[in-house]
Amino acid sequence: MIFLFLLPFYLGVSSYMMFRFFYWMKHCNHRFNWLRFKVPFAVVYLFMALSPVIAFLLPKSAVAIVIRRISTYWIGIMLYSLLYVVLFDLLRLIAKHTKLKNTLLFSRGSVISIGSVVVACAVATCLYGIFNARNIKVNEYSVTVNKSCGSDKHLKAVLVADLHMGYAIGVDHITNMVEKINQQDADIVIIAGDIFDNSYDGMDDPEGIKAQLKSIKSKYGVYAVYGNHDIDEKILMGFTFDWGGKQLHNEKMTNFMKECNIKLINDESVLINDEFYLVGRRDTDKPGTEDGTRAEISELTKDLDKTKPIFVLSHEPDELQKTADAGADIDFSGHTHDGQLFPGNLTIGLFWENPCGMIKKDNMYSIVTSGVGVYGTFMRVGTDAEICSVDIDFAG
């Protein structure tokens, strides 16, 4: 319900941006101040600004899906347009209280030039963010676990997370991801949650996506846990509306995973090839259980043979110390997106001990991926879409 309180602020900012655009355009050419231009522009602009709300309110249909996809781009366009406008407005405000106030900086030509720079910067940033989000990179890590892994002296694990399959991420992006995974010749592939984007019905081509996920190649198979967005619930610009119901996992999603030959391990462990354990944890915020709880990591590992390697798969990179104390050798996570969009990438470290990358916690490695997909807007600025290829050597 937080969004309902923020909606007036959002509409106010949207109106401010529209009038700032009109101000720039009328300085470029007086004809842009005519109603025959301003009215159609205002109608299109307001439609774009309200596209997240319109898509949220419309019943599921092809039209609603198109509008929802438009909104995933609009949110980013709005963000960076606002950032550049505020930045240049602040610079002009500062200059107004200096000797520059009576210079050409405040002339009509200056308004045209500065406005053009703002538009160019916003367009360039958004285009870069869109193309960068589609460019899935491979990030490689090497670790050594001081345990024996039976006959395996080396193991290659591929970590992916935050696919967010739905209105923004479709079959083309998943195809790209699968191609990158299969190039790694993995022993095991693990998916650290947020496979769906709060909706099963938001996928553009479920059968096409299913065919791609079934084609993932690995020696020991594909394992996954659910994340906080693997719950079917209404979502508007990042805010969820559960209307007080129980937040249980959608049966359609679970059946889809089975048909893709992806093994879900939520709050359970599996012994793979009698050599190493994979422990899957339910999500912290949305565990998908009747009572809204998840098992403690110590409960999940207490009966395991700790002379064997123990790999934990958890959507959120939380409780790192508890996980290390429970005997884990590697904790694989996602969730953070590494901030996804500048300036979020500069502040994400304030919220997570390991926001992205690899750190050592006692004898345990924490590896966090920035994710394959996107959340909110189909852009990445200052971060990368990635899969993580992890080479594990055993020294026991």
pLDDT, tens digit, 9 for 90 and up, residues 198-223: 888 888 899 999 999 999 999 999 99
User: What's the pLDDT tens digit per position in 12-28?
Assistant: 888 889 988 888 888 88
3-state secondary structure of 167: coil
Q: Quote the pTM value.
A: 0.91
What's residue 203's pLDDT? Answer: 87
Share of residues in the chain with pLDDT > 70 (%) = 96
Q: How far apart are CA 122 and CA 84, in angstroms?
A: 7
Q: Is the bond preceding 343 in cis, omega lying within 30 degrees of 0?
A: yes
Question: What is the C-alpha separation between 392 and 91, in angstroms, rounded?
Answer: 51
Q: If phi over 0 gives left and psi between -120 and 50 gives alpha, with beta otherwise, what is residue 52?
A: alpha
Q: How confident is the model at residue 307 (pLDDT cuts 50, 70, 90)?
A: very high
Residue-wise pLDDT tens digits, 215-260: 999 999 999 999 999 988 777 766 666 555 567 788 999 999 999 9
**Phi and psi dihedrals of 307, rounded to 5?**
-80, -15
Q: At what angle do helices 62-96 and 2-28 cross, to 10 degrees?
A: 60
Residue 363 is predicted with a pLDDT of 94
Tokens representing 357 are 């990358």
- In 3D space, the residue among 246, 286, 252, 247 whose CA is nearest the CA of residue 266 turns out to be 286
Match 């916003």 to its residue by tokens.
122
Q: Which residue has the tokens 């790694």?
A: 184
**C-alpha–C-alpha distance, residues 387 and 180, integer Å:** 8
**Is 164's pLDDT higher than 60?**
yes
Q: What are phi and psi of 377, to 5 degrees?
A: -125, 145
Q: CA torsion sign, 387 to 236 to 52 to 89?
A: negative
Nearest to 78 by CA among 54, 46, 113: 46
Provide the mean pLDDT of the chain: 91
Cα(195)–Cα(164) distance, integer angstroms: 5
- Running DSSP on this structure, what letter comes out for residue 249? P
| Position with higher pLDDT, 277 vs 289 | 277
Kindly give the residue spans of alpha helices, DSSP state H, lying in the chain: 2-28, 35-57, 62-96, 108-134, 171-182, 206-214, 251-259, 297-301, 320-325, 344-347
DSSP 180-203: HHHTT-BSEEEEES--B-S-STT-
Residues 6+ apart with CB under 8 A from 276: 149, 150, 152, 155, 308, 309, 310, 311
Strand pairing class (385-394; 364-368): unpaired
CA distance 134 to 129: 9
Residue 29 above 70 pLDDT? yes
Confidence (pLDDT) at 224: 98
Domain boundaries, the chain: 2-132, 137-394
Which of 205, 125, 193 lies closest to 167 in space, CA to CA? Answer: 205
Find out whether 351 and 120 touch, Cβ atoms under 8 Å: no
Residue 245 has a pLDDT of 55
**Closest of 135, 136, 193 to residue 162, by C-alpha:** 193
Mean pLDDT of 130-154: 94
Which letter does DSSP use for residue 165 in this model? B
- What is the token pair recorded at 34? 């005519």
CATH superfamily of 137-394: Metallo-dependent phosphatases (3.60.21.10)
Q: How far apart are CA 288 and CA 264, in angstroms?
A: 13
The predicted structure's pLDDT at residue 218: 96
Cβ(233)–Cβ(200) under 8 Å? no
Task: Tell me what the mean pLDDT of segment 355-363 comes to.
Answer: 96
Burial of 40 (0-12, 13-18, 19+ CB in 10 A): exposed
